[in-house]
Chains A and B, each alone.
Chain A
């Protein structure tokens, strides 16, 4: 009975402290400064491939690894030249909420954003990654095509032509 009482008190303390921590985190999150995303300097062209994720999961890690591998290996020349960059960020973190609002991020996705002369020119939204994650081949093809569209300057319309399934569910 004594052990039961001790366990009860420990768990109750843990519960109350956790509720306090959750409230404290939420309060401080409201005043967190927004993180500045990568930009292209005047006269420079750059594509930033964002992997936006929330709560960690197996599928999420698989997508992140696949996207980063494609950027580093399939577009190694662009990475070396400084025209392509891979950025992974958590859209649930307060400092990334401005970026999540800007790109309308609500679930795990990859967005390839093309900057020219310090301004965003267009973005290619790859938001079917979770649906396609069951097939590594299709996921890789989807990501490679989308990133290439942003890098070659074709944009969303070029991507839709080269990946017709992008208008639907894609699976």
Chain B
């Protein structure tokens, strides 16, 4: 949770919350999106944690410092995760805003990719969770490695990174609950859910573009706009 509320990953959390809120009229879909987003994050941390712990055990027999052993992986994740995140968010934001016309059909139905991401499916929250989890900030990498140190100390490979993954998604889960339940009253009160949904999708696209530009300027051009 400390990771989730630290200023550095705040931009991605805002993007995630706005992404879930694009389905503001469908409580079930908002909650499912939040669950899949959490699952995506957790899968990365558990997978990475298990792989690192296994490699650490195999290479050192559990002796020595896990933090030192994991340092090349840790550096690569910070470097390339954040490098890829800006353009990826910018691209998704442009699709959501209809600034890029992609006539690709995915799966059955053949509708445009933009419509599929914007209106649709909770399933898109899963890759978003994976993408955001891979972009490590200094507080998140330090706390993730601390979770793995706890794994070594207590002999529990899965539980600490699992708890860490769920913890990092707590603000998004909390906002999803608020959106899911509060929005029904807002929608009924104004009897204009379709209009509200349209605005939420527009705001989601703008936030994705803004966060994408922010990450690109910071991590590709080295303009330190981080909080």
Residues of A within 8 A of B (CB): 4, 7-8, 11-12, 14-15, 18-19, 21-22, 25-26, 53-60, 91-92, 97, 100-101, 104-108, 125, 127, 130-131, 168-169
Pairs A–B under 8 Å by Cβ, sample size 14: A4-B98, A11-B90, A12-B99, A18-B86, A53-B138, A54-B78, A55-B82, A57-B7, A59-B138, A60-B138, A101-B72, A106-B71, A107-B71, A127-B67
Residues of A within 8 A of B90 (CB): 11, 14-15, 18
Q: Which residues of A contact B8 (CB under 8 A)?
A: 55, 57-58
Q: In the complex, A7→B87 CA distance in Å?
A: 16
Chain B positions within 8 Å of A, measured between CB atoms, are 6-8, 65, 67-75, 78-79, 82-83, 86-87, 90-91, 94, 98-100, 137-139, 141-143, 145-146, 149-150, 153, 209, 213, 216, 218-221, 224, 226-227
A15/B220 contact (C-beta < 8 A), A4-B99, A55-B138, A105-B71 known: no
Measured between alpha carbons, how far is A4 from B205 in the docked complex, in Å?
Answer: 13
Q: Which residues of B contact A7 (CB under 8 A)?
A: 99
Residues of B contacting A26 in the complex (Cβ-Cβ under 8 angstroms): 83
Q: B68 — which chain A residues lie within 8 A by C-beta?
A: 104, 106, 125
> Measured between alpha carbons, how far is A131 from B148 in the docked complex, in Å?
14
Please determine whether A59 and B139 come into contact, CB atoms closer than 8 angstroms: yes
Contact of B78 among A15, A55, A169 (CB under 8 A): A55
**Cβ A19 vs Cβ B87 within 8 A:** yes
Contact A57 B87 (CB under 8 A): no
> Is A107 touching B145 in the complex (CB atoms < 8 A)?
yes
> Are the C-beta atoms of B83 and A8 separated by less than 8 Å?
no
The contact of B94 among A11, A19, A100, A131, by CB within 8 Å, is A11
CB pair B99 A131 closer than 8 Å: no
Which one of A14, A101, A130 contacts B213 once the chains associate, using CB atoms below 8 Å? A14
Nearest CB to that of A92 among chain B residues?
B79
Given A18-B87, A54-B138, A55-B137: A92 in contact with B94 (beta carbons within 8 A): no
Q: How far is the CA of A53 from the CA of B141 in the complex (A)?
A: 12
Nearest 7 A/B pairs, CB to CB: A106-B74, A106-B71, A130-B142, A8-B99, A104-B68, A104-B71, A107-B142
Partner among B94, B139, B146, B219 whose Cβ is within 8 Å of the Cβ of A8: B94
